[in-house]
Amino acid sequence: MRYATIPFLAGTILAAVSCTDRSPIAPSIDPTAANAKVTTPGTGPWAKVVEGETGPGSQYALYIPTQWNHEVIYYAHGIRPPNDPITLNDQDNFFEVRDALGAQGYAFAYSSFSENGLSVKDGAQRTHQLRGLVNSQLPDKAQRNYAVGYSLGGLVALELGERYPSQYDGVLTMCGMVGGTPPEMQYIGDVRALFDFYYPGVMPGDVISVPGPALTIPEIQSRVIAAIMANPAGLYAIASTVQTPLAFAPVGSLTNPGSTAFQTLVGSLVYALYYQAIGTADVVDRTHGHSPYDNRTVTYTIGTPVIALPGLAQLVAASNAGVARYDSPPDAQNYLERNYTPTGNLTIPVVSVHNLWDPLVPFFHEGVLNGAASAAGGSANLLQRAIPNWGHCNFSTPLVVSSLTSLAEWVRSGTKPTS
């Protein structure tokens, strides 16, 4: 096999990597007491910007527009590597969206959270805490409030909408972990477990223990490509397994290493392995040193084969006898479920936008949320949009703005969009 276009793959991955109303959330802090800094931008849609801190390491920013439309957006960012510094930097490439929405009159508030990694609980606390802060800066009471989030921040926004429906009028999730934390952790763990079965020794450590420092994306990519060159059947077996539906854009042949299909398939495998490598220690720490992953009773089965490869079904079946098995105790599973598993009891409008071929938070999350909403009677308040694209959270500004516009019009009119 030749990998002449692998540099394109590396660039693609790196660009995308660079979520009753008696609230238990801590009371908000007055901006002046938190040593807030107030600035007046010389250009753009903002009358003033307020920045400060709400707690140990948590920073916030409030953007108040010149022509306020009496609506506020509370934004929760996507997952950030556990060891990265805590900042308000634009790691989601969202500042352009923020300014576009400000030009339409929306006030905008967001937080760094006080910790990185799988910080669903902290993200919900810090984002919800913004309500008191932004209200203290507005000329009068907001008429409508929207919880918006990317990736992990999408789950945060959904949690806020489910827990406090009288305090938020609508929710927008983009590439959100909306099926909940347990299925996402199971997917990432299954990918790593099966990779170790087909390609033993290629990645350091295992599903629940990764020695530091974690490998970089280029290092993981190099190892994965070398392994696939020696045994391409393992890649196709993982992608064809029901539990590990690696996403790929259906452009070109999966047997051609230069095709978009093959490049994105490998990219999805690298994505999962990278986040497993950098996130495992953080998640295990949150589950008190216990395994957050359990595949004791999982029977790996073949779904729709990604290619017609003789012996593929037998290869997938054989993984059940050789894959390493892991046991997650109840306390670890309870932690994942509490932080957070959506109930589906949607009493305010929710718009969920997702790439069909998302390499990190697979599209199956939308099916899980749809099932939960159907079971809980919340389907009337759920609108899901599938975008025929590969990538994680690589949405254009017009798409995000139009999605928020759809949500706002739904909230104002009471009429659910047809699509």
Q: Is 43 helix (H, G, I), strand (E, B) or coil?
A: coil
Tokens of 291: 């395994």
Contact between 156 and 78 (Cβ < 8 Å)? no
Q: pLDDT tens digit string along 257-312?
A: 999 999 999 999 999 999 999 999 999 999 999 999 999 999 999 999 999 999 99
Lowest-pLDDT choice from 44-58, 165-179, 181-195, 362-376:
44-58
Full-model pTM: 0.92
Q: What is the pLDDT of residue 152?
A: 98
DSSP secondary structure string, 84-152? S------TTS-HHHHHHHHHTT-EEEEEEES--SS-HHHHHHHHHHHHHHHHTTSSS--SEEEEEEETH
Q: CB–CB of 147/127 below 8 Å? A: yes
The residue type of 384 is Q
The H or E element spanning position 237 is: helix 232-240
- 172 φ/ψ angles, rounded to the nearest 5 degrees: -120, 120
Q: Is the pLDDT of residue 26 over 70?
A: no
Could you tell me which CATH number the domain at 16-178+340-413 has?
A: 3.40.50.1820
Distance (Å, whole) CA 384 – CA 78: 19
pLDDT bin (cut points 50, 70, 90) of residue 29 is: very low
Per cent of the chain over pLDDT 90 is: 88
Query: Which is it for strands 37-39 and 350-357: parallel, antiparallel or unpaired?
Result: unpaired
List pLDDT tens digits, range 158-172: 999 999 999 999 999
Q: Is the pLDDT of residue 27 over 90?
A: no
Which has the closest alpha carbon to 15: 327, 271, 196, 247? Answer: 271
Q: How far is CA 357 from CA 133, 236, 380, 394, in A?
A: 37, 16, 26, 11
**Tens digits of per-residue pLDDT, 106-124?**
999 999 999 999 999 999 9
Query: Token pair for residue 287?
Result: 């589950």
- Band (pLDDT 50/70/90 cuts) for residue 57 is confident
The size of the chain, in residues, is 419
Q: Which residue has the tokens 């209200």?
A: 135
**pLDDT score recorded for residue 9:** 53
Instruction: State the average pLDDT over residues 19-38.
Output: 49
Domain residue spans of the chain: 16-178+340-413, 182-334
Provide the pLDDT confidence category of residue 54 given band limits of 50, 70 and 90. Answer: confident
